[in-house]
Every structure is written in C-alpha cells, then in structure tokens.
Amino acid sequence: MSQVIVFLALAFSIVIAIFAVQNTTPVAVQFLGFRADAVAVSVLVLISAALGAAAMLFLGIAREVSLRWRYRSLAQQLKAAQARIAELEAAQPPPTQALPAASSAATLSGKTVMGSPEAAATSPTSGDGPPEAKR
C-alpha cells in the first residue's frame, strides 16, 4: 500500500512540474493583504503544492502522536488489568480434591452409582440381587 502512495505522489509531482514549466506567464496576486504584481503561475503552483505537502505532513505527525498516546494509554490499562487478574488468581482458594477413581469410572461409563460398585449390584432395580434375596 505504501508503494502505491509513493507512486501516486511521484506522478502528482510530475504533473505539477509539467504544468509549472508550461505556464510561465506572470500574473498579479493579492491574498490577505499581500500583493504581488508579477509572479509566474508556475511559482504559484509550486508554492501551493509545497504548502499542501507541509499541511499533510503536519496532519500526519499529529495523527501519529495521537495514536502513540492512545497506544500508551491502552498498554497501561492492559498492564493494570493483568496485575488485577494475577491478584485475583492469587487470592483464589486452592482447587478441591478429585473424586475417587472407582466412582468416577462408573460415572464415565454412563451408570449413575450411589456409593460403591457393590451397591449397584445389590440394588433392587438391577434384577439380580444378592443370592439370599432370590429365595
């Protein structure tokens, strides 16, 4: 993108130079109390182009300074937020103990088990109770 901008600026400069060379007729100029009786049109065009370039330079610098201030402000906010996160994580209680392996394995297999695996085998809904219950 920057190469396109440089190319366009160069092309514009060449067009202005060609215009300035072809228009050397002196003209009278009056601007805000300033008066010049015989100034070449080419000089006026070159002065106008230079003032326009200077204005764009100053606007670009102002924008760059504004963006840097904004970046610095956002960086400070990010640093404060990260410090707050670290503070909250340090104040958080330690994680709780994990469930025993037997009950978590039964839960993972899709069976809901209350208590130990032996309790599931002796439950009245399983159909197969203990041998004493079949009597």
Placement of tokens 């037997």 in the chain: 102
The pTM for the full model equals 0.48
- List, for residues 47-86, the tens digit of each pLDDT value: 888 898 899 999 999 999 999 999 999 999 999 999 999 9
- List, for residues 82-122, the tens digit of each pLDDT value: 999 999 988 887 777 766 665 555 555 555 555 555 555 55
Instruction: Indicate the burial class of 41 (C-beta count within 10 angstroms; 0-12, 13-18, 19 or more).
Output: middle
